[in-house]
Structure 1
Amino acid sequence: MKPIPRLPLPSSPAPGALAGGAACWLLALAALPCAAQVDTVTPVTPGAPVAAVAQADPGTTGADTPPAMPAAAPAPLKVDRRVARPLWEIGLGLGALNWPDYRGAAHSQTYVVPLPYVVYRGRFLRADRGGARAVLVENQRLEIDLSLSGSVPVRNQAGGVREGMADLPSTFEVGPNVNLMLWRSADNRNTLELRLPVRAAIALQSPLRSIGLISTPKLNLDLHQLAGWNVGLLAGPVFGSRRYHEHYYGVRASEATAGRPAYEARSGYAGWHAIASASRRFDRFWVGTYVRHDQLQGAVFADSPLVQRTRNWSAGIGLAWVLASSQDQVLVDER
């Protein structure tokens, strides 16, 4: 038996890799799950041989020996598309986005914030192109992890539709997420997934308060290395519990005015949303951007006096510099 010569593993970051940790930090305000997920994570053993080939004794053929059958054609080798990446990367940058106070609000705010860049490619805990999550189950067709999201606080404007009402605190959302692989291109670069997250929402106030559930099933198309860019497209409906909708669209009797009647929200369909994102990695520099559209027509709370628009747009951009990375590397399947 003679082993195949050992193959060197790449050690530099892919030029077009999307820094999902940084992107998700910026785009979490838009509830954007970043582009693609990582299939497998395997520690790299430096110098390990990747395969070995054994030769069998062909034997002999005599006059009384039946002729040997032709050898079957060798089965095609499965191409291992995993690449070596640092276990972790950290950096710093700047992000800016314009975002409505809440879905259906007429007022929006522009945020310019520091953008921490964090990528961690652990076996279970990850912050990458799939977002920050804990991977519970994973194979080529299915991944189950924890989905995270949140929202910024809303300060009511004088003369605005919420004048005289309590300000809306920041929220934190967490819950299970099931990703089903529907299609993958032959070169492993492009994927289509069905993502099924359900999250519990918590208002970040004192004391903490549960405000119900939200679910955002969606189709997610990832196109990698499209003229050097990673492009993500997703769209799907939004559903919320009564308490979740009441948090944003309910009006108590004590808050009612002549132009703002009391309103009690219901659970159910909350419209739909679509997001397009693009990002690119230039060695130790990363840039990413997104555009999001929300449509509330037909939502169960569309008749709330706090809904001023049935359509919203938002957008953001982020720039980051990678300052340090781990010398330890892992093999990852970058879809």
Structure 2
Amino acid sequence: MKHLVLVAGLVSAGVALAEEGARPRVDLPLWELGAVAGAVSQQAYPGSEQQARRALALPYLIYRGKVLRADADGAGLRAVRTERFELDVSFAGSLSSGSETLRAREGMPRLNTLVEAGPVARWFVNGRDAGDRITFELPLRGVFEARNPSRHRGMSFEPRLSWQYRPRAGGNWGYGLSVGALFGDSRLGSAFYGVAASEARPDRPAYDARAGLIAWRVGASASTRVTPDLRLYVFGRLESLAGAANRDSALVRQTTGASYGIGLSYTLTRSAARASD
């Protein structure tokens, strides 16, 4: 069960993005309940030569309250909201390798599923309701193990600039592009790249991880409405460790990698009440 929270978050974000792109924002239901099925393939960690893969089906809930939100723009308590700025809570994470042993980390503690949560400052450069919306985000998140949330694995900072095309009434396809960078403190760097003296091998020398750049990220997504209730979406992300703080760790097996996924969502029911904004 420990990986379900992360995958549900990734998939429901895609569902919310698709749904909000299908109608003018002023005419969205207060809440929507549905089901989603998806498959995700993600690098086990930035720099790994192996992938972590999941396929599953889950229910999802979208709620568009004035303060409490769970939609494409985030989930949690929205503390500040204007036409061009928002202070919210954001989530992210990375999958564990499941039952598969990572060759680079053989004999080392297993890298578990990580969940990230924290505040995000979000600027809508050309306005919140622009059809071609440009958004600049500054999320600062604490990183925890999904199996044991009391185990703090560090802090992450991920500034990101994104472009989102949201079709108006009658349109089916929505698109998104983003570019950003992931930074981490020494604890997060150690979780991915640190090698203790007791774990060292001839091909894996001991390594003290540092704080700094973890990876550059470029992402893309697309969604289309198959029926009024059924949606298809795909997403992908490329990562590069060019200039990364821990590029010299023996746990870095390649400097570029990709994550990608595909999903279907079906809205089972939605409220007659409309969202207030």
TM range (shorter): 0.7 to 0.9
Q: 2:67 — aligned with what?
A: 124
Q: Does the 8 A contact of 1:144 with 1:179 survive in 2?
A: yes
- In the TM superposition, residue 228 of structure 1 has moved relative to its aligned partner by 2.4
Q: 2:4 — aligned with what?
A: none
**Pair 109,159 (structure 1): closer, same or farther in 2 beyond 3 Å:** closer
Q: 2:3 — aligned with what?
A: none
Q: Deviations over 1:17-66 (max 9, x none)?
A: xxxxx9843277xxx9x859x8xxxxxxxxxxxxxxxxxxxxxxxxxxxx
Q: 2:233 aligns with which of 274, 288, 292?
A: 288
Q: 1:208 aligns with which of 150, 153, 173?
A: 150
Q: Does the 8 A contact of 2:44 with 2:94 survive in 1?
A: no
1:165 partner amino acid? M
Question: Could you say what secondary structure the match of 1:183 adopts?
Answer: coil
Percent identity at matched positions? 35
Q: Which runs of 5+ in 1 are unaligned?
A: 1-21, 39-80
Q: 2:165 — aligned with what?
A: 223
2:176 partner amino acid? G
**Pair 114,173 (structure 1): closer, same or farther in 2 beyond 3 Å:** same
Q: 2:190 — aligned with what?
A: 246
Question: Could you say what secondary structure the match of 2:166 adopts?
Answer: strand
Q: 1:150 — aligned with what?
A: 93
Residue 134, structure 1, aligned to residue 77, structure 2: yes
- Higher Rg: 1
> C-alpha separation between the residues in 1 aligned to 2:111 and 2:126?
40
Q: 2:30 — aligned with what?
A: 87
**Pair 313,158 (structure 1): closer, same or farther in 2 beyond 3 Å:** closer
Residue 307, structure 1, aligned to residue 252, structure 2: yes
- In the TM superposition, residue 149 of structure 1 has moved relative to its aligned partner by 1.5
Cα root mean square deviation, aligned: 2.6
> C-alpha separation between the residues in 2 aligned to 1:121 and 1:305?
46
Residue 256, structure 1, aligned to residue 241, structure 2: no
Q: Does the 8 A contact of 2:30 with 2:64 survive in 1?
A: yes
**Pair 139,164 (structure 1): closer, same or farther in 2 beyond 3 Å:** same
Q: 1:71 — aligned with what?
A: none
> C-alpha separation between the residues in 2 aligned to 1:257 and 1:25?
36
Question: Which deviates further from its counterpart, 258-267 or 130-139?
Answer: 130-139
Instruction: Give the TM-score, by structure 1 length.
Output: 0.72
Question: Which deviates further from its counterpart, 254-263 or 279-288?
Answer: 279-288
Q: Deviations over 1:289-320 (max 9, x none)?
A: 10100001110111110000100011101101
Q: Does the 8 A contact of 1:280 with 1:286 survive in 2?
A: yes
> C-alpha separation between the residues in 1 aligned to 2:29 and 2:38?
24
- In the TM superposition, residue 82 of structure 1 has moved relative to its aligned partner by 5.1
Q: 1:319 — aligned with what?
A: 264
1:317 partner amino acid? I
Q: Deviations over 1:207-230 (max 9, x none)?
A: 721111101101111111196211
2:152 partner amino acid? S
Question: Could you say what secondary structure the match of 2:252 adopts?
Answer: coil
- In the TM superposition, residue 155 of structure 1 has moved relative to its aligned partner by 4.7
Q: 1:17 — aligned with what?
A: none
**Pair 202,192 (structure 1): closer, same or farther in 2 beyond 3 Å:** same
- In the TM superposition, residue 159 of structure 1 has moved relative to its aligned partner by 7.6
Q: Counting helix residues as a fraction of each chain, which structure ranks higher?
A: 2
Q: 1:179 — aligned with what?
A: 122
Question: Which deviates further from its counterpart, 199-208 or 290-299?
Answer: 199-208
Q: 1:25 aligns with which of 10, 33, 58?
A: 10
> C-alpha separation between the residues in 2 aligned to 1:131 and 1:181?
14
2:10 partner amino acid? W
Q: Does the 8 A contact of 1:27 with 1:316 survive in 2?
A: no
Q: Which runs of 5+ in 2 are unaligned?
A: 1-6
Q: Does the 8 A contact of 1:143 with 1:178 survive in 2?
A: yes
1:152 partner amino acid? L
Q: 1:103 aligns with which of 35, 40, 46?
A: 46
**Pair 95,302 (structure 1): closer, same or farther in 2 beyond 3 Å:** same
> C-alpha separation between the residues in 2 aligned to 1:178 and 1:109?
30
2:222 partner amino acid? A
Question: Could you say what secondary structure the match of 1:254 adopts?
Answer: helix
Q: Does the 8 A contact of 2:74 with 2:89 survive in 1?
A: no
Q: 1:235 — aligned with what?
A: 179
